[in-house]
Amino acid sequence: MKHRKSGFWPKFFALVLVLFISSVAMAQTEVKGLVKDDMGEPLPGAKVATKAGDAATVTDFNGNFTIKAQKGSTLVVSYMGFVTKEVTASANVVVTLSEDAKALEDVVVIGYGTAKKNDLTGSVTVMKPDEENRGVITSAQDMMVGKVAGVSVTTSGGPGAGATIRIRGGSSLNASNDPLIVIDGLAMDNNGVKGLSNLLSMVNPQDIESFTVLKDASATAIYGSRGSNGVIIITTKKGDQGHSPRVSYTGNVNFATRKNPIEVMSGDQFRDYLQQTYGADKYNQWRAQGWVGDANTDWQSEIYRTGVSSDHAITLSGGLKHMPYRVTVGYTGNRGILKTTDFRRTTASVNLNPSLADDHLKINLNGKFLFAESRYANQEAISAAIAMNPTIPVKSSNPIHQQYFQGYWQWDVAGNYGDGSAWPYSFNNNGTKNPVSLLDLKRDEAQSMAFVGNAEFDYAVHHFEDLHLHLNMGGDYSTGQQDSYTSPYSPESFYYGWQGWEKINKYNLQLNAYAQYTHNWNNRHDLSVMAGYEWQHFHRELTRDGSGYYPETIAGHVAGEAYNRSNSPWATENYLVSFFGRAGYTLFDRYMLTATVRRDGSSRFRDHWSTFPSFAFAWRINEEKFLRDCRNLNMLKLRLGYGLTGQQDINQDYGYVATYSQNQGAGSNYFPCVDANGKIMRDAQGNIIYMPVSRPGEYNAALKWETTTTYNAGIDLGLWNNRLSASIDYYYRVTTDLINRVSVPAGTNFKNMVTSNIGSMVNQGVELQLNAVAIDTKDWTWDLAFNATYNRNEITELIGGDETYMVETGGISAGTGRCVQMHAVGHPMSSFYVYQQVYDAKGMPIEGVYVDRDGNGIINESDRYFYKSPVAPWTFGFSSKLRYKQWDLGFGLRASLGNYVFNDVEAGWSNIKTIYDEKGYLTNRPLYELPKAWQTWDNPISDYFVHNGSFLKCDNITLGYSWPGVTRHKISGRVFASVSNVFCITKYNGIDPEVFGGIDGTLYPRPITYQLGVNLNF
């Protein structure tokens, strides 16, 4: 019998293997879970993997996942843009991921592309809107006030009004000093239309993701002629790929009231003053005439009101597979504190970001729509409320006032409107107009519509992904019409009234295309090269028609016939064509060099083309071996930059060629047409046919680019895991071939003022930006931000080295045709040019007595001198945000030191002798005018009226409470209350020391505003 092997060992090992596999299977468990964000929204497509790497999966559309893992093992959960999190495997896991703020801040939008923040070589500031500490926000510029070093934003108090933005001071005298605004890659046209002077009204503040401010030439030169005054790039929010639909609502209601009225004599004070100054006989005579009544009318209270406003926005965002989307609809209703001023705005925005061709083709489609309605007030009412007689009422029972002034009290005189007129009374043009009637008897409204849209395509070439091809095309279209009606009973247009309209249409078309190649070799050499082309076309046209009208039939005229008709349409356009390129090279991740060049061609100059290069170098010092062990040092970078930018925004499209304007209609400048027999020709209605006359305009064939050269040196610092970060920059900017309107000898041109290149100017300064996380614990965080700017401006040349040549500017209402500012060599632009006031022993100014500065015994123009500048050399911003658990408290401060203001209100009402004027009226005065006791209108150009306008303002204080969504079905959100324009500490005696340009007339006052609001996420 043959012996057989039993096979024991193979069976034994097989049994052991089965038991091992069974034990492993029994040790593993099926882990189910949900991945969501801070708001409780599910995150589809999040990666879930075991830390050992033996299993992985992704979440479904609802954020759910299932994975097999050993109980107690570690799972790693990650999602793009969120902080990766490790959790312990259990039967059911709920994972909440937080947005990675650092990752979001690492990428910065720059001109034509993006860059890592650490790789920047120019002076670039990135600002993300503070959702918790911002106060009242109507338009995008409100978010930037006091937040960025070197950026000055001067807002207005009127509803829907724009703002004046300056980056590192002004670089031009007469051309535009506005920065270039780029919204989602589209360079905007700074010119507005009727009802839409503020182009940033296009963007709903709730949609803004970030502001990037390009300040030095190494950063702005890529924009060439448009970047001379800096660039502000606004990037709006986008949807999330694969994300379920998310709805959010933001709403608030505001209550605004006026601050700091100008103190004038009350009715009782005015009556006492008249009796004491002019005697009982005169006073009784005025009472008998009805000039002095028994009222105590506070005219400033009569023209102002509490402004109730609200703002609402609803957003739907998410992602359909490869189609992230975001749609926002917003409404703003702003009731101004000056009666009859209102602003209503409806906005809608759509953003689609499909990704095609295996993510090689990324598309960004943007569309923004706006419809706005505005009502404007006659702001002459503000000054009239200061001067109007406080003893008389708003409305009068006097039959003359009832019949000819619709019941409003007015200074009336005998009228003469032609033979047979039934209007025997008229308004006394020398007297103060009833301020309430100026508001009530005028209706000035505007409607505007705008669309801004663009399509961007970015293609990473297949099999050569280092090369990207980029195309961006779009445009902005705006139209606005303003309709005006002034009653014939209004003192503004008495008897004839006014009715008319004015409409502006404009568009800005743009196309740019570029190719960009990037590559890294061995983590030592990093190269980026980009070259492109851009075309832009600006078009603008205006039509208008309006006239007064005869309210009755009189000799030679019939009721309803037009009076003094105005009809003068025009249209204009200009083009900008450019070639540009940029190269960046980084060695060993610490030595960085960037070079850009742009070749611009503008239709505004005879010599169309100019070239604008720039160079920048950066050294990341903290990456050197001798600092790598310094754990508390996260960033130490040195930046050096140089570059040229240009200026062609001169509000004159063809100033270098002879142009002719054709007159049409009857008048002294027209000639009647005659036939071959010398007989005057007439149309079918019998009207004379006139020959249109073409009149020449001034021109300057030598007009050329204004050029600004900028040198910049900066240091970026980060300490203690970037809990303290700082940037400091020094800049030196020289603008040559300044564009300005200058006088020319008679007969050398068709006008006595011509736009010319006349000199040079220097701006130099220092900027400091600090950000700190003072406290960072489980329950408490405290964020602080501070910025400071010093800027010194000086004109270094005007015409041909003639240091005595000056350009007059800064017109005032006091006197006739007077100016109190000058552009002159050796001084800041628009410096005050005034007489030096002489004071008596009590410190009161002596009227008409000035210092004889040239010592020739005569007071004349030679004794005027340069005294201070309207632009503050020092500006500061400070913000604080303290959080405790779900509560937050924030505030913002802003300061300006060394800005001076000419108080035109004070200068215009200094003559108290005319409180009674022999032309037949009485006027009130501010209380500060009475002690001077001046008796003429002749002396307003005095340094006495130039006041120090330095101030410290509290822009806002905000308290809020936030709550997260615990489950995907629970609403998360925040409620808050804030106060804006809280207080202003200043020695200035006017309403507000923050006056752009330095001439304080009767400005629309900035109100104090109380706000209640809520943010909800569904």
Global pTM value: 0.85
| Predicted local distance difference test score (pLDDT) of residue 461 | 94
Find out whether 261 and 636 touch, Cβ atoms under 8 Å.
no
Grouping H, G, I as helix, E, B as strand and the rest as coil, residue 104 is: helix
Q: With cut-offs at 50, 70 and 90, classify the pLDDT of residue 3.
A: very low
Grouping H, G, I as helix, E, B as strand and the rest as coil, residue 344 is: strand
| Predicted local distance difference test score (pLDDT) of residue 670 | 57
Identity of the highest mean pLDDT range in 50-64, 147-161, 225-239, 450-464: 450-464
| Predicted local distance difference test score (pLDDT) of residue 81 | 63
Percent of the chain with pLDDT over 90: 57
Long-range residue pairs from 64-69, CB within 8 A, at least 24 positions apart, any chain: 64/32, 64/33, 64/34, 65/32, 65/33, 65/34, 65/35, 66/30, 66/31, 66/32, 67/30, 67/31, 68/28, 68/29, 68/30, 68/31, 69/28, 69/29, 69/31
- In the chain, % helix, strand, coil (3-state, to 5) comes to 10, 50, 40
**Gap between the Cα atoms of 528 and 319, Å rounded:** 31
Whether pLDDT at 785 is above 70: yes
Greater confidence, 107 or 505? 505
How far is residue 371 from each of residues 158, 345, 453, 719, measured CA to CA in Å? 18, 6, 15, 47
| Predicted local distance difference test score (pLDDT) of residue 666 | 45
Vertex 384: Cα angle to 382 and 390 (nearest 5): 115
Grouping H, G, I as helix, E, B as strand and the rest as coil, residue 387 is: helix
In terms of Cβ atoms closer than 10 Å to its own Cβ (0-12, 13-18, 19+), residue 839 is exposed
Tokens of 838: 């002489």
Tokens of 605: 């100059």
Whether pLDDT at 258 is above 80: yes
Q: Which range (252-256, 317-321, 670-674, 818-822) has the least confidence?
A: 670-674
Whether pLDDT at 39 is above 70: no
Greater confidence, 896 or 566? 896
* Rg of the chain, C-alpha, whole Å: 35
Sign of CA dihedral 810, 813, 814, 816: positive
Q: Within 10 Å of residue 953's Cβ, how many Cβ atoms? A: 22
Whether pLDDT at 12 is above 80: no
Over residues 53-58, mean pLDDT: 76
Find out whether 1016 and 976 touch, Cβ atoms under 8 Å.
no
Residue reference for tokens 């004599």: 265
**Gap between the Cα atoms of 594 and 115, Å rounded:** 12
Over residues 187-203, mean pLDDT: 82
Q: With cut-offs at 50, 70 and 90, classify the pLDDT of residue 891.
A: very high
Residue among 426, 429, 204, 217 nearest 332 (CA): 204
Whether pLDDT at 322 is above 90: no
The helix or strand, by DSSP H or E, that contains position 82, with its residue range, turns out to be none
Tokens of 410: 């007015």
Percent of the chain with pLDDT over 70: 92
Per-residue b or e along 488-513, where b marks 16 or more CB atoms closer than 10 Å to that residue's CB: bbbbbbbbbbbbbbbbbbbbbebebe
**Gap between the Cα atoms of 128 and 107, Å rounded:** 12
Residue 1004 is given by DSSP the state: P
In terms of Cβ atoms closer than 10 Å to its own Cβ (0-12, 13-18, 19+), residue 677 is exposed
Pairing of β 972-986 and β 999-1000: unpaired
Question: Per DSSP, what are the bridge partners of residue 757?
Answer: 739
Q: Within 10 Å of residue 405's Cβ, how many Cβ atoms? A: 25
Taking only the tens place, the pLDDT of each residue in 132-186 is: 767 778 888 888 888 999 999 998 888 888 788 999 988 888 788 889 999 998 9
Whether pLDDT at 211 is above 50: yes
Average pLDDT over the chain reads 87
Taking only the tens place, the pLDDT of each residue in 537-546 is: 999 999 999 9
Over residues 286-297, mean pLDDT: 95
| Predicted local distance difference test score (pLDDT) of residue 434 | 97
Taking only the tens place, the pLDDT of each residue in 371-387 is: 999 999 999 999 999 99
Find out whether 196 and 332 touch, Cβ atoms under 8 Å.
no
Over residues 852-877, mean pLDDT: 94
Q: With cut-offs at 50, 70 and 90, classify the pLDDT of residue 263.
A: very high
Taking only the tens place, the pLDDT of each residue in 329-375 is: 999 999 999 999 999 999 999 999 999 988 899 999 999 999 999 99
Q: What are phi and psi of 722, to 5 degrees?
A: 65, 20
Greater confidence, 40 or 1012? 1012
Q: With cut-offs at 50, 70 and 90, classify the pLDDT of residue 972.
A: confident
Identity of the highest mean pLDDT range in 72-76, 207-211, 415-419, 638-642: 638-642
Whether pLDDT at 62 is above 80: no
Whether pLDDT at 43 is above 80: no
Residue among 612, 579, 610, 578 nearest 595 (CA): 612
Pairing of β 865-866 and β 633-647: unpaired
Grouping H, G, I as helix, E, B as strand and the rest as coil, residue 772 is: strand
Taking only the tens place, the pLDDT of each residue in 711-768 is: 999 999 999 988 999 999 999 999 998 887 776 666 556 666 778 888 899 999 999 9
Over residues 912-926, mean pLDDT: 93
Q: Which range (18-22, 111-115, 693-697) has the least confidence?
A: 18-22
Whether pLDDT at 1 is above 50: no
Greater confidence, 60 or 910? 910
**Gap between the Cα atoms of 594 and 639, Å rounded:** 11
For residue 623, what are the contacts with CB-CB under 8 A and spacing of at least 6? Answer: 588, 589, 590
Over residues 606-616, mean pLDDT: 91
Alpha helices (runs of H) in 418-531, residue ranges in sequence order:
435-440
Taking only the tens place, the pLDDT of each residue in 242-251 is: 778 889 999 9
| Predicted local distance difference test score (pLDDT) of residue 25 | 44
Residue type, 121: T
| Predicted local distance difference test score (pLDDT) of residue 28 | 64
Whether pLDDT at 680 is above 70: yes
**Gap between the Cα atoms of 1009 and 135, Å rounded:** 9
Whether pLDDT at 657 is above 80: no
Q: Within 10 Å of residue 249's Cβ, how many Cβ atoms? A: 16
Over residues 300-326, mean pLDDT: 92
| Predicted local distance difference test score (pLDDT) of residue 783 | 94
Q: With cut-offs at 50, 70 and 90, classify the pLDDT of residue 876.
A: very high
Over residues 935-945, mean pLDDT: 90
Find out whether 494 and 488 touch, Cβ atoms under 8 Å.
yes
Alpha helices (runs of H) in 453-557, residue ranges in sequence order:
none
Whether pLDDT at 638 is above 90: yes
